[in-house]
């Protein structure tokens, strides 16, 4: 079995490990001893750091012989005690022994599958991790992620959430209840917030002595947002892949982390069978951050702004509002200068007595470049053009020409451009503009609208 493939696709989905039920079965001292032997064997064969496994195994035998686990009378309490002991001794937040749930005398993996399939779907999938995505007041985007599911499943949900964020002025990603998941999904979401080819994280695996590097991806399914103010919410329940996302953003100074220090689980791995009653999660790999050359194992990821998890969202919203307002004041000042320049240039166009061809040659390029510094530049020019198409048709013809340069997919630009030309008694050019639009029309409705405009203008020309 290739453990690397097992572990990388499950960079530990601790949601499943934490939330699964178990039922108490009595356990004998002999069964405990056999379980201890199997645990030490599995640790020796698979744990990412062999020297740590050897030291932990020696201490585990001594602890068992000293009666450390003698008071545990069932598999559930025994597994809990083992988990606490292993995590403290090996200093690895991923190590875990789990008692298999029991149902109708079925034990082992069969019982686990039965229990899993009987869970309500809403409890298991949660939109493949994307619990909610919406836009708050002041145009602040908010996404709550409960896990990083396998990328093939979660990608459409992540893309849909990020498309909602595309026009926001700040983004908050809530990982306070996120138990982790796939490193490829972590890599994918991270890639939305960088536009350069950075190394985000590496995973080293003992099996094959291999290291896998996770770089920022060149392409994502939506718009990249490398400059948007970003806030990541964390808590003590933020684990594994969710910690990697937080650590990547913190070490690259890409986001402000708000909340509590995370759980401290940086070593990926997989589940191994101890016996019919017990299973064990063993870390078979470890994360290596390219900036720190370390990771967050045991110590967790310390947020930029430390505050109780329950207050983290309100604090992030407060901080985002301050940044959004500051950025808007700076943008407003910049826009005022650009708008004044644009309107002054357009006033020159409006007052010019030169032929339309000369005006276009002299001003169209300058106006196009200047208006591009404003949001929705084609709409800005088109609104002016619609206002003047039947009052100052020469000016309107110039404006619609610029609007089409900026966006040739709006067929109403072509229709009113033709009407303005018709007002100037330039029917040949009006018909030419409509034919140009018909070649670009993307659907039947646009095509019919242009044909109706053509019929209208031809009918008017006949009357004249």
Q: Say how far apart CA 6 and CA 85 lie, in whole Å.
A: 25
End-to-end CA distance of the chain: 85
Nearest one of 99, 93, 50, 54 to 73, comparing CA atoms: 99
Rounded to the nearest 10 degrees, the angle between the axes of helix 377-388 and helix 393-406 is 160
Residues 6+ apart with CB under 8 A from 424: 356, 393, 394, 397
Tens digit of each residue's pLDDT (9 = 90 or more) over 126-160:
789 999 999 999 999 999 999 999 999 999 999 99
Residue 92 per-residue DSSP state: -
pLDDT of residue 5: 45
Cα–Cα distance for residue pair 244/251, rounded to 1 Å: 10
Arithmetic mean of pLDDT over the chain: 90
Q: Is 233 strand, coil or helix?
A: strand
Question: Is residue 276 classed as helix, strand or coil in its secondary structure?
Answer: coil
- Phi/psi-derived region of residue 264, left when phi > 0, alpha when psi is between -120 and 50, beta in every other case: left
Is the pLDDT reported for residue 330 higher than 70? yes
**Rounded Cα gap, residues 80 and 97, in angstroms:** 7
**Distance in angstroms (rounded) separating the CA atoms of residues 233 and 204:** 27
* C-alpha pair distances (Å), 228 with each of 169, 254, 331: 6, 9, 14
Determine the Cα–Cα distance for residues 120 and 350; give it in Å rounded to an integer. Answer: 67
CA distances from 36 to 53, 67, 94, 365 (A): 13, 13, 18, 78
Residue 9 pLDDT > 60: no
Average pLDDT of span 237-266: 97
Identify the band that residue 121 occupies on the pLDDT scale cut at 50, 70 and 90: low
- All domains of the chain, ordered by start, with CATH? 121-306 (3.90.226.10), 324-463 (1.25.40.10)
How far is residue 342's CA from residue 403's CA, in Å, rounded to a whole number? 14
CA angle in degrees (0–180, nearest 5) for 428-432-438: 145
Q: Give the model's pLDDT for residue 93.
A: 82
CA distance 57 to 51: 10
Helix (H, G, I), strand (E, B) or coil at 99: strand
Q: What is the pLDDT of residues 263-284, one digit of tens each?
A: 999 998 889 999 989 999 999 9
Q: Confidence band (pLDDT; 50, 70, 90) for 20?
A: very low
pTM for the full model? Answer: 0.79
Report pLDDT for 75. 92
Q: To the nearest whole percent, how much of the chain has pLDDT over 90? A: 84
**What is the structure's pLDDT at 107?**
52
- C-alpha closest to that of 255 among 329, 311, 334, 200: 200
Beta bridge partners of 141: 135, 171
CA gap 214, 201 in Å, rounded: 5
| Pairing label, strands 96-99, 278-283 | antiparallel
Question: Do 172 and 353 meet the contact criterion of CB atoms below 8 Å apart?
Answer: no
């Amino acid at each position: 079995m290739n453990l690397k493939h097992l572990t990388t696709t499950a960079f530990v989905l601790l949601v499943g490990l934490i939330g699964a039920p178990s039922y108490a079965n009595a356990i004998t001292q002999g069964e405990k001893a056999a379980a201890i032997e199997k645990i030490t064997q599995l640790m020796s064969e698979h744990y990412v750091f062999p020297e740590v496994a050897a030291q932990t195994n020696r201490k585990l035998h001594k602890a068992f012989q000293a009666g450390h686990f003698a008071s545990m009378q069932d598999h559930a309490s025994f597994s809990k005690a083992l988990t606490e002991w292993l995590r403290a001794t090996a200093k690895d937040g991923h190590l875990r022994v789990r008692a298999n749930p029991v149902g109708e005398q079925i034990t082992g993996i069969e019982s686990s599958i039965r229990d899993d399939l009987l869970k309500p779907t809403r409890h298991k999938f949660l939109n493949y991790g994307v619990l909610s995505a919406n836009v708050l007041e002041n145009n602040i985007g908010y996404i709550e992620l409960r896990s990083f599911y396998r990328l093939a499943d979660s990608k459409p949900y992540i893309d849909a959430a990020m498309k909602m964020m595309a026009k926001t002025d700040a983004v908050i990603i809530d990982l306070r209840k996120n138990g982790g998941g796939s490193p490829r999904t972590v890599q994918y979401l991270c890639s939305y917030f960088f536009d350069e080819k950075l190394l985000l994280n590496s995973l080293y695996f003992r099996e094959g002595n291999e290291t896998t590097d996770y770089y920022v991806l060149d392409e994502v399914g939506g718009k990249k947002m490398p400059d948007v103010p970003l806030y990541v919410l964390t808590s003590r329940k933020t684990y594994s892949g969710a910690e990697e996302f937080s650590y990547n953003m913190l070490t690259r100074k890409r986001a402000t982390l708000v909340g509590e220090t995370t759980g401290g689980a940086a070593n990926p791995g997989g589940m191994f069978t101890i016996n019919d009653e017990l299973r064990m999660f063993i870390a078979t790999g470890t994360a290596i951050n390219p900036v720190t050359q370390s990771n967050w194992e045991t110590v967790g990821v310390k947020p930029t702004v430390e505050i109780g998890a329950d207050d983290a969202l309100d604090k992030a919203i407060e901080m985002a509002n301050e940044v959004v307002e500051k950025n808007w004041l700076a943008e407003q000042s910049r826009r005022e200068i650009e708008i004044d320049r644009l309107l002054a240039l357009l006033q020159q166009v409006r007052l010019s007595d030169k032929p339309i061809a000369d005006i276009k040659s002299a001003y169209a390029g300058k106006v196009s470049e200047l208006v591009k510094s404003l949001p929705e530049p084609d709409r800005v020019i088109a609104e002016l053009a619609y206002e003047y198409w039947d009052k100052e048709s020469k000016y309107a013809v110039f404006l619609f020409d610029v609007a089409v340069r900026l966006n040739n997919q709006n067929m109403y630009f072509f229709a009113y451009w033709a009407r303005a030309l018709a007002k100037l008694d330039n029917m040949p050019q009006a018909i030419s503009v409509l034919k140009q639009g018909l070649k670009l029309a993307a659907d039947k409705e646009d095509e019919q609208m242009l044909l109706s405009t053509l019929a209208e203008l031809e009918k008017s020309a006949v009357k004249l």
